[in-house]
Amino acid sequence: MKKMFLTALLMAGVLGASAQSKDGGISEDMLSRIRQGYTATPEQKAVKNALASNSMATLAINADNLTMIDTHFSHRVTTHGITDQQGSGRCWLFTGLNVLRAKMISKYDLPSFEFSQNYNSFYDLLEKSNLFLQAMIDNRDLPLEDRKVDWLMKNAIGDGGQFTGVSNLIMKYGVVPKSAMPETFQSNNTSQMANILRLKLREFGLELRELKPAKAAERKEEMLTEIYSILVKCLGVPPTEFEWARYDKEGNLVSKKTYTPKSFYEEYIGEDLEKNYIMVMNDPSREYNKVYEIEYDRHVYDGENWLYINLPIERIKPMAIASIKDNTAMYFSCDVGKFIDRTKGTLDIANFDYASLFNTSFPMDKKQRIQTFSSGSSHAMTLIAVDLDEHGVAKKWMVENSWGVSSGYEGNLIMTDEWFNEYMFRVVLERKYVPEDILRLLEQEPILLPAWDPMFAPEE
């Protein structure tokens, strides 16, 4: 009898403690207890009043970390000038071209130089259009509700991307100086153009799904001809030939020649971007020392899917340091929005104290943030500097950004090594900086990941 009475009491306690509706909803009793999370203490009221009329980031600024980070770097790549992607999502392209720009400036001792981002953007959008239309043909037997077709329709086209777009597009179409194809309003402000392209491509995609293969191929070419016309009206006609004069730092003419986009690339850069570069990634949510490939994550249909080696952060840093010491910039991507102080131009986990503002804690590590969609790569920049202590250990890093010279620290962002550990995701390195044991990992059969994996959204 005693045992039965005790069991009944325990059951009543459990039911009373949960007191939620049977379907998992919030009951009246639960709501009453939840309301105790705010008891209107003077501290709580002060924070509530401040948040009513101030930015959360402003109130979370860590007053103990207001001084500017030391801007000295022990090793820095030679480059000049800051680019500006303006209202576009082309950070991946600006970054890739900035890596090559640094090479050209250093090699030829140029006072300044900039490649035409608009030229490569034009062919990027044309190639992405073909990728989508051909994918519609390839998958026409799958229902519209299929996950792959659904993803393709939702992501018909955009101006975001990643490094394989840089390598495939340049090796196929070459490059031109900015003077040969300058920016337009639409290239700098791409949202309206992208909406028009998406609308046309989705319309075309539905049509292609209903056609037989032979007819679909013929119709696809007609569709691409219409897309090309839209791109010309928005971005201009990409040059097939142009004249360019090179001057030294004193303003003296060195050479003046007529080039094609590919001959210009061969003369001034001349390396095989598809074979000479390795992408490494630090993603602790997946197994290290494995090679991963992302389906449909490419810019060119007959190009390469995104392929990378997943490595511990301790393996990545020495390669990045070796590249910087050798005056070679790198394509670098990260979760730029986390703890960024745009005024100072710093990325530092001590910049903001949200835990104190809300009297809580944020204990998730990098792996858990990735697994819960709380963090992922969002932006590409050019890694150009590192500051090493007397033991050769990195204290801080610097990237050249593409948000204009007035943004951040003289157009750059300086990150602490602690921030680098937590929010750096990818670096693209020349093969000569990658140890043999890491290169041998490329002999593996890549693990294929779906295009909709949230870790691989386009960098913008």
Length of the chain equals 460
Distance CA 442, CA 444 (A): 5
Q: 10 Å Cβ neighbour count for 10? A: 10
Active site residue 234: no
Nearest to 124, CA basis, from 168, 177, 155: 168
Q: Kind of pairing, strands 75-76 and 379-388?
A: antiparallel
For 423, the token pair is 């929010």
Could you tell me which residues come within 8 angstroms of residue 100 by beta carbon, excluding any fewer than 6 positions away?
Answer: 115, 170, 175, 269
> Of 120, 234, 379, 412, which is the active-site residue?
379
DSSP-assigned letters across all residues of 105-154: HHHHT-S---B-HHHHHHHHHHHHHHHHHHHHHHTTTS-TTSHHHHHHHH
Distance CA 6, CA 71 (A): 68
Distance CA 336, CA 415 (A): 10
Distance CA 457, CA 131 (A): 17
Active site residue 334: no
DSSP-assigned letters across all residues of 39-80: ---HHHHHHHHHHHHS-HHHHHB-GGG-SPPP---SEE----
Active site residue 91: yes
> Of 98, 310, 401, 412, which is the active-site residue?
401
> Of 49, 91, 234, 276, which is the active-site residue?
91
- Neighbour-count burial for 356-370, b at 16+ CB within 10 Å, e otherwise: ebeeeeeeeebeebb
Q: Catalytic residue numbers?
A: 91, 379, 401
